[in-house]
Amino acid sequence: MPQFFDLFAYSFFQNAFAASILISLLSALIGTYIVARKNVFISGGITHASFGGIGLAYYLGLNPFLGAAVFAVLTGTSIEWITNKGKMREDSAIAILWSLGMALGIIFVFLTPGYAPNLMSFLFGSILSVGRSDVLLIGGLTLLTALFFLLAYRPIIYTAFDPEFSSINGIKVAFYRYSMAVLVALAIVVSIRAMGIILVLSLFTIPQTTALLYTHSFKRIVALAAIFALSGALIGLYVAYAMNIPSGAAIIFVLTLQYLLLKGIDLLHRQRRRNTAD
């Protein structure tokens, strides 16, 4: 354990620690919105479609995360548009964008001459490779998202819950839903470097599912999810260090273990209450 704390002397670990805190807060806000709207599959589509942007950016010699951001935002807003217009089955649209993004990513990476980027780092991520500029970017987006929730909490929730009633009440439904689609897409992209395309979605859903064991109030889910995400991220970092395993996988493993443990305790409590009632 003392050796673990020695790691705080290194800037890479300070960055990883700061990124863990910021991503936990960001995922608590965005993930609760995703889970409340039952948009987990949509978010999976955004995550995987962003790989197309990574591949294209590599091919054009641009920053891969810029490409991922453009693809993610386009996918998020397109799915929102398809959902609103109802011109196509939503799940089919997601599946098409999901696999198209992955296919484009693979094609562009294959076509990139001379140098084949390390795909594993995008697929599985590494919070320990997060740089100062990444921390600032994640921090900026977390601040923007928190500010948006602080100012427009009610319309965000109302338009997520019942867009028709909100529209009748004069709320600009499209503004809030598209703004949230953009924030969801960007939150996913900035978290990819830390968690990777395959694992990032878990960070936006497992802490919320754990929080749902205790509350059904949106605000309380956000607060509890932030605590669960943060504890999962920090314990995961330690596990990754102690066992010398990839940090993203360790964090997801701890988050899942945390959920199973608390779910087990919850079931035991319920059983005991039932027995007492009998």
Partner 1 sequence: MSKLLANIERVSAGYNGETVLRNISLKIHDHDFIGVIGPNGGGKTTMVKVLLGLLTPYKGKVSQPSGPIRIGYLPQAAQIDRSFPITVQELVESGLQGRRFWRPGPGKAQKKQIAQILHETGLSAYAHRAIGELSGGQLQRTLLGRALIKEPNLLVLDEPNTYVDKTFEGELYHWLQELNKKMAILLVSHDVGTISSMVKTIACVNQELHYHPSNVLSAELLKVYNCPIDVIAHGPVPHRVLGEHRH
Q: Which residues bind partner 1 (CB under 8 A)?
A: 32, 36, 38, 86-87, 151-152, 154-155, 157-158, 160-162, 164-172, 212, 215-218, 221
Least Å from the CB of residue 90 to partner 1: 15
Query: CB-wise, 60 or 151, nearer to partner 1?
Result: 151
- Least spacing, CB of residue 146 vs partner 1, in Å: 14
Q: How far is Cα 6 from Cα 261, in angstroms, rounded to an integer?
A: 30
d(CA 57, CA 148): 29
In the bound complex, what is the minimum distance in angstroms from residue 25's beta carbon to partner 1? 18
Q: Residue 95 CB, nearest distance to partner 1 (Å)?
A: 21
Whichever of 6 and 162 has its CB closer to partner 1, that residue is 162
Q: How many CA atoms lie within 13 Å of 65's alpha carbon, on the beta-carbon side?
A: 18
Closest to partner 1 by CB, 15 vs 39, is 39
Distance CA 80, CA 78 (A): 5
Q: Which is nearer to partner 1, 32 or 83 (CB)?
A: 32
Cβ proximity to partner 1: between 9 and 150 the closer is 150
List of residues 6+ apart from 32 with CB closer than 8 A: 208, 211, 218, 221, 222, 225
Report phi then psi at 101, rounded to 5.
-60, -45
How much of the chain is helix, strand and coil, in % rounded to 5? Answer: 85, 0, 15
At its nearest, how many Å lie between partner 1 and the CB of residue 243? 36
Smallest distance from partner 1 to CB 82, Å: 13
Whole-angstrom distance, CA of residue 237 vs CA of residue 20: 9
CA distance 264 to 174: 41
Q: Which residues in 14-128 belong to E strands, given as ranges?
A: none
Minimum distance of partner 1 from residue 266's CB (angstroms) = 16
Q: Residue 166 or residue 247: which is nearer to partner 1 going by CB?
A: 166
Q: How far is the CB of 218 from partner 1 (least distance, A)?
A: 5
Residue 65: partners with Cβ closer than 8 Å, 6 or more residues away? 54, 57, 189, 190, 192, 193
Residue 35: partners with Cβ closer than 8 Å, 6 or more residues away: 204, 205, 208, 209, 212, 221
Residues 204 and 225: their CA atoms lie apart, in Å, by 9
How many residues can be counted in the chain? Answer: 278
Closer Cβ to partner 1, 226 or 239, answer by number: 226
Is the CB of 162 or the CB of 266 nearer to partner 1? Answer: 162
